[in-house]
Structure 1
Amino acid sequence: MNKTEHYDFLVKLFHSAPINKTIFVGSDMSLSDGEAKYELTVKEEFFHGGEAMHGAIYFKLLDDAAYFACATEVDDYFLVTKSYQIEFVRPVMGGKLTAKGKLLKADENGFLASSEILNEEGKVVGKGEGIFVKSRKPMPKLKD
């Protein structure tokens, strides 16, 4: 499969996840070589009791952006997150967020990627870095 077909498959995979069809419905993912962009409009359902976005949502955006940046380079096995470290930079009260992931390094031990979340003003609201490794689950082949 060529790169475009692989990216299309990954985007379909992203949208087919039950969590993205329910809780994160309306989110969008775009891919290029070693990079991913995840866009999401903040909903009140994402808030904790302090009326700002819960850290779980930061993690989802950051992890997915980094994961899919790595996945652009892998078409044989699914990847899993081995570790991910987050820095919360500022609270989010609403608006549209863009998470950008970038593959930093790939070797026999796995994939290192970084990601950051930007608000509508282009300010970083969260960032992080993670390690992703191949699982034992083979990636299905695209069907015509």
Structure 2
Amino acid sequence: MTPQERAQKAAAAMWADDRASTWFGMELVAVDEGRATLALTVGEDHVNGHGICHGGVTFSLADSAFAFACNSRNQSTVAQHNTISYIRPAMLGDRLTAQAEEISLTGRSGITDVTVTNQNGELIASFRGASRAVRGQVFTEGDST
């Protein structure tokens, strides 16, 4: 199995049980070893009292992209801690794209950067996540599903 095939299989297994990301309306766009791209269109249920996309929605999109990138090697991996900087607001109807890229993996610890942009390529937020591999796999290697 190639690294990309492993990443895609891990993503499919995670996506099948990911109630939160689907509840938000996210879409899994692409995945590869150490990388993932998710997207979301800001809907009425995503805006706050200021009429802009709630920061928690933006964070959740970045966090989900982070999760798919971190688990792409089929090693169960969770977040240790994350930070986000909001650069500009996202508005109702904006199409947000979160691109995650693992920048460091040493032993069981990793660092992944995620950029969230809108449909115009404008930077909405910058997220950095620290991950930790735990016991188990996302799917059983050799499993035909």
TM-score, normalised with respect to structure 1: 0.86
Write the mapping of 1:9-88 to structure 2, written as runs, cut at 5 A.
9-16=9-16, 17-21=18-22, 23-25=23-25, 27-72=27-72, 74-75=73-74, 77-88=75-86
Asked if the contact 1:14–1:20 (Cα under 8 Å) also holds between the matched residues in 2, the reply is no
Deviations 1:81-132 (A, max 9, x none): 1000100111111221111111100002501110110101100000111100
Give how far 1:134 is off.
1.1
User: Using the alignment, how far apart are the partners of 1:71 and 1:36 within structure 2?
Assistant: 10
Distance 1:109 1:26, change over 3 A: closer
More displaced stretch, 9-18 vs 35-44: 9-18
Secondary structure of the corresponding residue to residue 67 of structure 1: helix
The answer for the alignment partner of 2:107 in structure 1 is 108
Q: CA shift at 1:5, angstroms?
A: 2.9
SS of equivalent residue, structure 2 residue 132: strand
* Greater alpha carbon shift after TM alignment, 116-125 vs 38-47: 38-47
What secondary structure does 1:121 align onto?
Answer: coil
Output aligned runs, 1:124-139, within 5 Å.
124-139=123-138
For normalisation by structure 2, the TM-score amounts to 0.86
Gaps of 5+ in 1: none
**Aligned-pair CA distance for 1:14:** 4.2
Query: May I ask how many residue pairs the two structures share in their alignment?
Result: 141
RMSD (Å) for aligned C-alpha atoms: 1.9
State the shift of 1:32 in Å: 2.2
- Which ranges of 4 or more aligned residues in structure 1 deviate by more than 6 Å? none
Following the alignment from structure 1 to structure 2, what is the Cα–Cα distance between the partners of residues 34 and 140? 17
Letter aligned with residue 65 of structure 1: A
**Partner SS for 1:48:** coil
